[in-house]
Amino acid sequence: MVYGGSRSEWRPGAQPAIKVDPFVREFDMGLARPLSRSVRLNGFATCLRLEQVYWEILGEMATLNGCSVSALLSHVDREVHLRHGGVKNFTGLVRVVCVVHSLK
């Protein structure tokens, strides 16, 4: 639903004014480029396709933990299996883990 001037006034096709432009002046479109990387999750080789920005966040998290990105992702994989019985979309989980880390 798209609103016009006030929240109670709805007009079809109206575009609300954006107060915070998500494309900041130095926005790097390269961060949105997806990259596939081979990783080992608990001894099994697999391939993950994530946008560059997520690989950078994972690298930062791995550095903070003194481990490799593969070791960090293995931990995430193990924990989601132990705590929740697994997850259908591991790549989506990794993105959420990165966002939650970035929000802290």
What tens digit of pLDDT does each residue of 15-44 get? Answer: 777 788 777 778 888 888 999 999 999 999
Q: Is residue 67 part of a domain?
A: yes
Q: pTM of the predicted model, to two decimals?
A: 0.77
Q: Look up the CATH number of the domain holding residue 44.
A: 1.10.3990.20
Q: Is residue 4 part of a domain?
A: no
22 domain-assigned: no
Question: Per the domain annotation, does 3 fall within a domain?
Answer: no
- Whether 84 is in a domain gets the answer yes
**Tell me: the pLDDT tens digits for 38-96?**
999 999 999 999 999 999 999 999 999 999 999 999 999 999 999 999 999 999 999 99
- Residue 49 domain flag: yes
Q: Alpha-carbon distance 73 to 50, whole Å?
A: 13
In a domain, 77, yes or no: yes
Alpha helices, DSSP H, located in the chain: 52-65, 69-84, 90-103
Question: Rounded distance, CA 72 to CA 97, Å?
Answer: 11
Domain that holds residue 88: 29-103
CA quadruple 18, 19, 22, 27: dihedral, nearest 10:
120
Strands 34-41 and 44-51: antiparallel
